[in-house]
């Protein structure tokens, strides 16, 4: 019984979504436009990840809990599974194109959120290219 409970907890925890922290895709020598175009291409294939996540959860729960109870345990998490599957698929696609997801620090998020328009685009491009707040400030024109 303890093994079954442990397996059930593991199966349910696999169905939860990861919170999306503030992050940017980074790749040396690239900017916001190249990251955006790669992201748009990756978004086109997100349904593959959505379907794989849901199918995997259904199969796992059917194997663990049987053909009646397994699907009943999966249904409440189906939307979360689809969302996480789409996120994972887009992340895999971006990694295949050489981009890495870099979580922004609180300071970087504050710095980015306190900009607008062209300045925000310049800051995002700088972060996508692998820059930091400190290196951006060093390159900013002085008034």
| 126 lies in some domain | yes
| 11 lies in some domain | no
What total number of domains does the chain contain? 1
Sequential DSSP letters for 88-129: HHHHHHHHHTT-EEEEPPHHHHHHHHT--HHHHHHHHHHHHT
| 79 lies in some domain | yes
pLDDT for res 87: 92
Give the pLDDT confidence of 47-81 residue by residue, as tens digits: 899 999 999 999 999 999 999 999 999 999 999 99
| 52 lies in some domain | yes
Give the pLDDT confidence of 72-112 residue by residue, as tens digits: 999 999 999 999 999 999 999 999 999 999 999 999 999 99
d(CA 105, CA 122): 18
pTM: predicted TM-score of the whole model, two decimal places: 0.72
pLDDT for res 50: 92
3-state SS class at 54: helix
| 2 lies in some domain | no
Domain interval for residue 71: 23-139
Positive or negative: CA dihedral 80, 86, 91, 96? positive
| 57 lies in some domain | yes
């Amino acid at each position: 019984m303890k093994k079954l409970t442990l397996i059930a907890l593991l199966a349910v925890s696999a169905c939860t979504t990861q919170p999306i922290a503030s992050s940017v895709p980074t790749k040396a020598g690239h900017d916001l436009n190249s990251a955006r175009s790669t992201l748009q291409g990756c978004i086109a294939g997100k349904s593959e990840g959505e379907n794989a996540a849901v199918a995997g959860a259904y199969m796992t729960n059917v194997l663990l809990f049987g053909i009646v109870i397994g699907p009943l345990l999966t249904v409440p998490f189906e939307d979360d599974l689809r969302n996480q599957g789409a996120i994972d698929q887009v992340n895999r696609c971006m990694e295949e194109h050489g981009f890495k997801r870099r979580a922004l620090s609180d300071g970087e998020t504050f710095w980015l959120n306190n900009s607008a328009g062209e300045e925000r685009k310049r800051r995002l491009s700088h972060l996508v290219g692998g820059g930091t707040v400190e290196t951006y400030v060093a390159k900013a024109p002085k008034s």
